[in-house]
Structure 1
Amino acid sequence: MTEGNFVDYVKLYVSSGNGGKGSAHLHREKYIEKGGPDGGDGGRGGHVIIRGNENLWTLYTFKFKRHFRAGHGEHGSKQRSTGADGEDVYMDVPLGTVIRDKETNEVIFEITEHGEEKIIVEGGMGGRGNWHFKTATNQTPRYAQPGIPGQERDIILELKVLADVGLVGFPNAGKSTLLSVVTAAKPKIADYEFTTLKPNLGIVEYRDHQTFVMADIPGIIEGAAEGRGLGHYFLRHIERNSVLLFLIPADADDIKKQYDILLDELKRYNPEMLDKERLIAISKSDMLDAELKSELKEELDKSLPIDYLFISSVAQKGLQELKDKLWAMLQN
């Protein structure tokens, strides 16, 4: 998936169909002068339905179409014939999509399962035909109900990437390089900050044909929780990850301080992030000789509060150990 095709936030207009009018028809037939009312009911207006689709990874299908209108119900007719229901409109979205009301920003619902269907705007009910209103004192009612108008709504679709492992780190920490080595994904890689502007997903192949999904999230900077840098634009994607893999380069001035800053940004954005399983990977460790690595390990054993390991995506060192560790954490 190219970066330009990754769409994770769209504003849409949806409207359901009007209900059809009930019929006020009076039965007329040869030799039957007063056949009485036989007007049928109007059909229901079409719903707009949002449906989960596990084969979609982005909201790209909504990039060029922003208005969705369901069909109107048909009017009732003679011989108590009910009008046809309006055609429903289905909007397929990737799993992890949050639907909000544009005016209030309130979450209406979330789609997390394949095939899950939820109505975002209901079609109007059809009006009842005049035969419903026949009484002992009013044998020939000449009126019927009009159909109920449909609903309209402005909504926001917001995708929170569903991945097993989320890569967290400062810009240029080597997240995209790691993703490109352990999966078949081909993210943009360059030697400058904020190369990654959209999340990238890749499937990691583990032992015995087992797999898990890894997401490369754009780099965090200090103050991201307040909207600095790419701010909330990418932090929401981390909410759905089961395990957080903190990637910190071996040449960082202070590895413990970088970890603390990253953790603090996640905590300020959403304190529940701290409940997730966490692991630190010291990237670019091929730059360390044995003596430097030993000194760094001694220092990290005292300062880091969670497990860590050394990896090198370029030299492909420590990657199998990393996969083993992540797999074990996912099973927990």
Structure 2
Amino acid sequence: MTEGNFVDYIKVYASSGKGGKGSVHLHREKYITKGGPDGGDGGRGGHVIVRGDKTMWTLFHLKFKRHFKAEHGGHGSSSRSTGADGADIVIPVPLGTVFRDADTDEILFEVTEHDEDIILLEGGKGGRGNWHFKSSTNQAPRYAQPGIDGVEGWFRMELKILADVGLVGFPNAGKSTLLSVITAAKPKIADYAFTTLKPNLGIVEYRNHQSFVMADIPGIIEGASEGKGLGHYFLRHIERNSTLLFLIAADSDDIKKEYEILLNELRKHNPELLDKQRLLAISKCDMLDDELKEEIKQELPDGVDTLFISSVAQTGLMELKDTLWKMLN
């Protein structure tokens, strides 16, 4: 998935259909000059429906179509004929999409199931025809209900990636390189910070044709939860990962401190993130000899399992997959 077509935040306008008018009609036919009221009801306006689709990974399909209007209901007619219901409009979205009211910022719902239908805006009810209003004292009512108006509004969609493993680390820690080596994903890789500007997803092939999904989240820096660097814009993607793989480069000045900074940014964004399973991988280990590895082991943070890997030399990667698979299962 390239940076250009990964869209994880979008604002859309939606309006449901208005209900059809009830009919004011009096029954007339040959030999029946004063039949009773028989005006039919109006049809309901179309709903605006959101549908979960597990085959989608991005909101890119909504980038150029941001207005959704459902049809109005048909008007009632004679012989108590009900007007046709307005056609619903369906907005397909990837799983993990959160809907907010654009004015109040209130979270309305999130889509987590495939083929799950959630009514975003209900269509207006159709008006009742005049036959509903006849009585012993008013046998020929010449009025009916108008249809109820539809509802409209602006909504924000935010996609939180659904992946099994989320890669967490500072810019240039080797996250994209790791993803490109153990999956078929082709993220942009270069020797400067913030090469990755959008999350990348890759499917990790495991033994016996099994697999799991890994997400490369753009690098976090100190102060990210307050909006520094690329800010908390990407931290929400980590909320959906069941396991967090922390990646710190072997040439880091202080691995323990770097790990603590990353943990602290997650804590400040959402304390629940610290409840997730964590694994620490020291990347770029092809530049280390055994003596340096032993020195680094003395300075590793407590309370988290650690592996040494090299994406370039492809060492320690099978052990990494085995460990992640055990954590996921």
TM bin, normalised by shorter chain, reads over 0.9
Instruction: Write the distance in 2 (CA, Å) between the matches of 1:144 and 1:36.
Output: 14
Instruction: Write the distance in 2 (CA, Å) between the matches of 1:131 and 1:290.
Output: 91
Deviation at 1:296, TM superposition (A): 1.7
Instruction: Write the distance in 1 (CA, Å) between the matches of 2:253 and 2:292.
Output: 14
1:281 aligns with 2:281: yes
> C-alpha deviations, 1:205-257, integer Å up to 9, x for none?
11111110000000000000001011121000000000000000000000000
SS of 2:234's partner is helix
1:308 aligns with 2:306: yes
Question: Could you tell me which residue of structure 2 aligns to residue 209 of structure 1?
Answer: 209
Deviation at 1:202, TM superposition (A): 0.3
**% identical aligned pairs:** 75
Mapping 1:22-33, distance limit 5 Å: 22-33=22-33
1:225 aligns with 2:229: no
Question: Could you tell me which residue of structure 2 aligns to residue 244 of structure 1?
Answer: 244
SS of 2:298's partner is helix
Question: Could you tell me which residue of structure 1 aligns to residue 161 of structure 2?
Answer: 161
Instruction: Write the distance in 1 (CA, Å) between the matches of 2:128 and 2:243.
Output: 55
Q: Which letter does structure 1 place at the counterpart of 2:138? A: N
Question: Could you tell me which residue of structure 2 aligns to residue 324 of structure 1?
Answer: 322
Question: Could you tell me which residue of structure 2 aligns to residue 196 of structure 1?
Answer: 196
> C-alpha deviations, 1:267-310, integer Å up to 9, x for none?
0000000000000000000000122112222332xx43210000
Mapping 1:14-53, distance limit 5 Å: 14-53=14-53
Instruction: Write the distance in 2 (CA, Å) between the matches of 1:17 and 1:59.
Output: 24
TM-score by length of 2: 0.99
> C-alpha deviations, 1:79-98, integer Å up to 9, x for none?
00000000100000000000
Instruction: Write the distance in 1 (CA, Å) between the matches of 2:238 and 2:296.
Output: 29
Q: Which letter does structure 1 place at the counterpart of 2:157? A: L
Q: Which letter does structure 1 place at the counterpart of 2:309? A: I
Instruction: Write the distance in 2 (CA, Å) between the matches of 1:274 and 1:232.
Output: 16
Q: Which letter does structure 2 place at the counterpart of 1:130? A: N
Instruction: Write the distance in 2 (CA, Å) between the matches of 1:298 and 1:60.
Output: 46
Instruction: Write the distance in 1 (CA, Å) between the matches of 2:166 and 2:269.
Output: 16
Q: Which letter does structure 2 place at the counterpart of 1:326? A: L
> C-alpha deviations, 1:129-184, integer Å up to 9, x for none?
00011111111111100000000011000000000000000000000000000000
Q: Which letter does structure 1 place at the counterpart of 2:76? A: G
SS of 1:5's partner is coil
1:235 aligns with 2:235: yes
Can you give the 5+ residue segments of structure 1 that lack an aligned partner in the other structure? none
Instruction: Write the distance in 1 (CA, Å) between the matches of 2:107 and 2:204.
Output: 32
Instruction: Write the distance in 1 (CA, Å) between the matches of 2:313 and 2:147.
Output: 69
Question: Could you tell me which residue of structure 2 aligns to residue 290 of structure 1?
Answer: 290
Question: Could you tell me which residue of structure 2 aligns to residue 150 of structure 1?
Answer: 150
SS of 1:322's partner is helix
Q: Contact 2:24 / 2:37 at 8 angstroms: preserved in 1?
A: yes
Q: How many residues are treated as equivalent by the alignment?
A: 329
1:104 aligns with 2:104: yes
Mapping 1:83-94, distance limit 5 Å: 83-94=83-94
TM-score by length of 1: 0.98
SS of 1:278's partner is strand
Q: Contact 2:256 / 2:299 at 8 angstroms: preserved in 1?
A: no
SS of 1:91's partner is strand
